[in-house]
Amino acid sequence: MAQAISLLKESHEDQWLQEGHFVALQFDQGWLVLMMTGREPSNYKPFSFGGVSALSNLSDWDEVKDSSNRRYLEPTKEGFIKQIFWGVTPPKARVFFQYPSRQDRWSLIAVTRTLTGAIGYVDGEMSPFNGPFSKKTEIWTVYQLYPAFNIYNPTNARMLDVKSHFDIMNYTYKIVTDKVAIREFLAGERRVRKHTVGGIDPRPATCPDWLVKLNIAPDKTDLFKFTRELGY
């Protein structure tokens, strides 16, 4: 009798940060180091993208908004930051991703991947609606910076309703402005969670101006420039 093999996948919940933990976020301008000061979980289940015709995609990119154009994945104010994981159903539905909105991700080559192609998507088989969610779906958002999604149906039958489950941790934070500590975090000498916002191709997401103005050391050093000069 063949032996059954069970593969255990790490829960995305193991990726949440606790109060007092640190995260280093890489933006196009450089690194931003934050300490979490508080947290609150939330979720959106299900979020409906609507129906998708056979061998077709959504006509517009979806920023996951309500009827008043408020984006669920964008923090409501400057003092919050969100960490997000997600899954989708039906399993064959392919989710394509932009972050920030209008910046395609996961293309692999210099030519932007197409929504009807086989490159650069997550489907429900990779990240199921009820989990375990793929680490590939991890998103960090700050005020004025948010993603957008599109759906492709690769089957020969209409998908009546493509749904997503977003699991979200909302944090309050404090910007780390000590240059010695920042160097130690980026060098791996102190424990920190690192994440490139959006991805590296063609470049990380651009940090909003309001946050750039806050990422300043007590001696007035531009900390984004400082981290670039460190070479990390």
Question: Average pLDDT in the 89-115 region?
Answer: 93
Q: Per the structure block, which two tokens stand in for 117?
A: 């192609």
> How far is Cα 225 from Cα 221, in angstroms, rounded to an integer?
8
Q: State the chain's mean pLDDT as an integer.
A: 94
Q: Which residues contact 213 (CB under 8 A, 6 or more apart)?
A: none
Q: What tens digit of pLDDT does each residue of 24-34 get?
A: 999 999 999 99
Q: Per the structure block, which two tokens stand in for 16?
A: 């949440």
Per-residue pLDDT at 9: 65
Residue 177 — very low, low, confident or very high, per pLDDT cuts 50/70/90?
A: very high
Question: Average pLDDT in the 155-184 region?
Answer: 98
Question: Average pLDDT in the 87-115 region?
Answer: 94
Per-residue pLDDT at 2: 43
Which residue, among 196, 169, 165, 167, has the nearest Cα to 85 in the 3D structure? Answer: 167
Residue 8 — very low, low, confident or very high, per pLDDT cuts 50/70/90?
A: low
The 3-state DSSP class for residue 35 equals strand
> How far is Cα 139 from Cα 133, in angstroms, rounded to an integer?
12
Residue in this structure with the two tokens 């400057």, named with its chain if needed: 78
Per-residue pLDDT at 7: 47
Q: What tens digit of pLDDT does each residue of 55-82 get?
A: 999 999 999 999 999 999 999 999 999 9
Q: Quick one: how far is CA 65 from the chain centroid?
A: 16
Q: Per the structure block, which two tokens stand in for 218?
A: 């007590």
Per-residue pLDDT at 214: 98
Residue 45 — very low, low, confident or very high, per pLDDT cuts 50/70/90?
A: very high
The DSSP output letter for 15 is G
Residues of the chain above pLDDT 90, percent? 88
Residues of the chain above pLDDT 70, percent? 96
Out of 70-79, 88-97, 110-119, pick the least confident.
Answer: 110-119
- Indicate the residue type of 132: P
Is residue 202's pLDDT more than 50? yes
| Whole-structure pTM value | 0.93
Q: What tens digit of pLDDT does each residue of 123-159 get?
A: 999 999 999 999 999 999 999 999 999 999 999 999 9
Q: φ, ψ for residue 108 (rounded to 5)? A: 75, -45
Is residue 6's pLDDT more than 90? no
Q: What tens digit of pLDDT does each residue of 221-230 get?
A: 999 999 999 9
Is residue 5's pLDDT more than 50? no
